[in-house]
Amino acid sequence: MSQDAAPIRWGILATGGIATRFTQDLALLPDAEVVAVGSRSPASAAEFAAVHGIPRSYGSWQELAEDKEVDVIYVATPHSAHHAAATVCLNAGRAVLCEKPFTLDVASTQDLMRLARAREVFLMEAMWMRTNPAIRRIVELVAEGAIGELRHIAADFAVPGPFPPGHRMRAPELGGGALLDLGVYPVTFAHLFLGPPQHIRAWASLLPEGTDDNTGVILGYDSGAVATLHCGLLGETGQRATITGTKGRIELPRQFYRPDRFTMIRGTDVTEVDVPLRGHGMVYEAEEVIGCLRAGLIESPLIPHAATLEVMSTLDAVRAQIGVSYP
């Protein structure tokens, strides 16, 4: 940050665990300042403000959005509320970083993007994986042909569960199920390297509520590449990923979506690459937003609207195949 550049002023919308982690990471950035928090619960907002030393708290999204001393708002609600919350912020002229999955479907994603363009306001999906330094280095290596032509991507993300009835992970009205909460990572990972698929096949077991608890996805590409992806709520997987090309492969360790290292294997040549993380790993998406706002952009070149739409389109297609719908 140059000495004459004022910090970018952040508002935090919602007060759950992910909002806490993001706020803690913002504290690591000298050119970021958290000035306000908003929640539909005044008490929750006040408590969050007290814990994190935030000067202003509001008992509604609207009040937060109308705070003219806020430059950008981080939307950290459950994803069923992303569209409504982001709409309030964009209509008030506030830039928005919205947690993933961006919304529940393509139509509501397109709606937010149209609104952002009409208002000429910055909008970005908080897909922190795309801003992770190790991931960005892998993208560079693959683009340089380090492992040849891509032939297969594998990624899995499942957690132990089971979640009790009434839990948000099961509730259709909250966008519950494994796919949107966890599967967005493997699908985004495949998209990073292979783009949108030309062929989609999926199967899932469903909970009594009608949301998915164990989902497998195969994506096919006209290049001949294949992605095999899994997400679930019934047993904790390795949460690893592998990218295989004609000349070698790259392996990502546990928590592939926020790696601090990876391994490149080409024949007998094995290269271990360490890329240390700052904070919780959410620093980098905040830095991307700050850079874009300083440059006067309304869309991130690193997480462009088109990529968010393409991933959501794939998720929509998978949901249609596995028979999951939301009210």
Task: Indicate which residues carry an active-site annotation.
Answer: 100
* Positions of E strands within the chain: 8-13, 32-38, 56-58, 72-75, 95-99, 123-126, 150-158, 199-206, 212-220, 226-232, 241-245, 248-252, 261-266, 269-274
CA angle 52, 58, 63 (to 5 degrees): 135
Can you read off the two tokens belonging to residue 85? Answer: 């919350």
Using DSSP's 3-state secondary structure scheme, residue 272 falls into strand
Strand partners, 220: 199, 226
Q: Is 53 left (phi over 0), alpha (psi -120 to 50) or beta?
A: left
| Residues facing 245 on adjacent strands | 150, 248
Q: For the chain, how are helix, strand and coil distributed in percent, rounded to 5?
A: 35, 25, 40
- The tally of CA atoms less than 13 A away on the side-chain side of residue 304 is 7
- Cis, bond preceding 101 (omega within 30 deg of 0): yes
Distance CA 284, CA 270 (A): 28
> Strand 199-206 and strand 32-38: pairing?
unpaired
DSSP tally for the chain: helices H, then strands E: 10, 14
